[in-house]
Structure 1
Amino acid sequence: MTKHHLLWLENYLKETYQTSILENFLNLQIDEISEGKVKYKTKIIDKYCNIYGYVHGGTLASIADVVMGVSCVTLGKRIVTTDLSISYIKNVREGNIITAVGEVISDGNNIMRAVCKIFDESQELLVQAQASYFVIGSFDNIDYPNSK
């Protein structure tokens, strides 16, 4: 994909994350974006935690899905999740900043595969996930606002 697509995608996501969608609730902040790979950061707040005071597994699964999905979108494809597998290795409490890294490992015409690792502030692995995404289309010039 072109640098134009990556720049458009990054700006589009930053604008979209200001609306009331899941990514906004999770306060995901783009740290790095490149073809086939993204890195996000977010701070764990009380609303993300379970009754035991640890970040809820569903929160981590949602973050993993978003990060892997966006890593696919960086390659110019529109996708939807078909399956997701996640391993919870360690947990964290409110106040911690976590980093989620998503990367495409298979860029097929119909199915894409991606992996995600989520780390705490000490770079300890919290989550490892993988997912498959069905390709429903691709981006073209019509999709980019103010493009010619």
Structure 2
Amino acid sequence: MSKEHLVWLKSYLEENYNKSILENFLDPQIVEVIEGKVIYEMKIIDRHCNIYGYIHGGTLASIADVVMGVSCTTLGKRIVTTDLSISYIKNVNAGSTITAVGKVVSDGENIMRCTCKIFDEHEKILVQAQASYFVIGSFDEVNPPKVK
């Protein structure tokens, strides 16, 4: 993919994350978008936490799926998740900042495979995940998803 595609993709995502979709709840900040890889940061607030005050596993799974899925779009592919496996290693509470790194490890014509690692602000690993994505088309300026 071209540098122009990556610049367009980052701009498109930032604009659409302000709408009422999952990313609006998560409020991730895009740190880096390069071919086959994305890095997001996210400030953990009370709404992301479980009854014990720690980040909810579903919140971590969601951010992992988002960064892995977006890493696929950096290659111009529109995808849907077919499976996701996640290992929870450590937890954090509200007030912490996490960093999620999504990478494409296999760029198939029909199936893509990705990995994700999520770290706390001390670079301690919180989560390791992997997922498969089914390619349903292209994702570019001509074919962006329609977000309502």
* TM-score > 0.5 by shorter chain: yes
TM-score scaled by structure 1?
0.95
Residues 42-82 of structure 1 show CA distances to partners (whole Å, capped at 9, x for unaligned) of 10000010011100000000000000000000000000000
Specify the alignment match of 1:34 in structure 2: 34
Q: How does 1:19-58 map to 2 (within 5 A)?
A: 19-58=19-58
Determine the C-alpha separation between the residues in 1 that align with 2:41 and 2:118: 9
Structure 1 equivalent of residue 126 of structure 2:
126
Cα RMSD of the aligned pairs, angstroms, is 1.0
Q: Percent identity?
A: 74
The question of whether the paired residues in 1 share the 8 Å contact of 2:8 and 2:141 is answered with no
Indicate the residue corresponding to 2:63 in structure 1: 63
How far apart are 1:141 and its partner, in Å? Answer: 5.3
Alignment partner, residue 87 of structure 2: 87
- 1:142 aligned counterpart, secondary structure: coil
* Cα distance in 1 between the residues matched to 2:42 and 2:140: 31
Using the alignment, how far apart are the partners of 2:134 and 2:63 within structure 1?
A: 19
Deviation of 1:24 after TM superposition, in Å, equals: 1.3
Between the aligned partners of 1:77 and 1:42, the Cα distance in structure 2 is 25
Measured against aligned partners, the alpha-carbon deviations of 1:3-52 in whole angstroms (never above 9, x if no partner) come to: 11111100000000111110111010100110000000010000010011
State the partner residue of 2:17.
Answer: 17
SS at the partner of 1:66?
helix
Deviations 1:96-134 (A, max 9, x none): 000000000000000000000000000000000000000
Distance in 2 (alpha carbons) for counterparts of 1:122 and 1:20: 31
Gapped regions of structure 1 (runs ≥ 5)? none
TM-score (norm 2): 0.95
Count how many residue pairs are aligned between Structure 1 and Structure 2: 144
CA distance in 1, matches of 2:129, 2:49: 19
Gaps of 5+ in 2: none
